[in-house]
């Protein structure tokens, strides 16, 4: 067997060099008032199209992928591709039809409005 044939066989059996994107938990701040729960998630470098938000059966799942386009040969890399992933339990009293999100300056702001039945209310006492 020639040296050229052995090299070709080795190249066919060499596994593909695939790079896995590291998963990290985005930092969050959660606020609650009478009307809503407001969640701020720090997701720098993620575009609106690369974010997924799912609420199902009392679970909120956030994910977003930041992809960095390399220009030239990398001499030093500390800020690369990353996938942000975080899950939370949320009350069943969230009004899913009114949930909205906005992304500005790398911060995802998720508004989770409470349904009318979940909002606190003042009970009037009537004189007998």
Q: How confident is the model at residue 6 (pLDDT cuts 50, 70, 90)?
A: low
Q: How confident is the model at residue 18 (pLDDT cuts 50, 70, 90)?
A: low
| DSSP structure string for 42-80 | E-TT--GGGEEEEEETTEEEEEEEE-PPP-S--S--SS-
Task: Kindly report, residue by residue over 22-66, the tens digit of the pLDDT.
Answer: 999 999 999 999 999 999 999 999 999 999 999 999 999 999 999
Overall pTM > 0.75? no
Q: For each of the domains in the chain, give its residue range(s) and CATH number, in order of start.
A: 20-69+77-116 (2.60.40.790)
Residue 29: predicted pLDDT: 98
Calpha distance 79→94 (Å, rounded): 36
| DSSP structure string for 21-46 | PPEEPPPEEEEE-SSEEEEEEE-TT-
Instruction: Name the phi and psi angles at 102, rounded to 5.
Output: -140, 150
Quick one: average pLDDT of 107-114?
96
Residue 2 confidence (pLDDT) above 60: no
């Amino acid at each position: 067997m020639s040296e050229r044939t052995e090299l070709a066989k080795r190249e066919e059996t060499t596994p593909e060099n695939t790079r896995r994107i590291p998963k990290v938990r985005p930092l969050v701040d959660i606020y609650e008032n009478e009307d809503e729960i407001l969640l701020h998630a720090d997701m720098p470098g993620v575009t609106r199209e690369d974010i997924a938000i799912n609420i199902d059966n009392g679970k909120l799942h956030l994910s977003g992928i930041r992809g960095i386009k390399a220009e030239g040969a990398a001499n030093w890399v500390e800020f690369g591709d990353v996938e942000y992933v975080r899950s939370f339990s949320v009350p069943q009293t969230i009004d899913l039809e009114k949930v909205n999100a906005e992304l500005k300056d790398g911060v995802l702001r998720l508004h989770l409005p409470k349904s009318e039945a979940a909002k606190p209310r003042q009970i009037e006492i009537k004189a007998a």
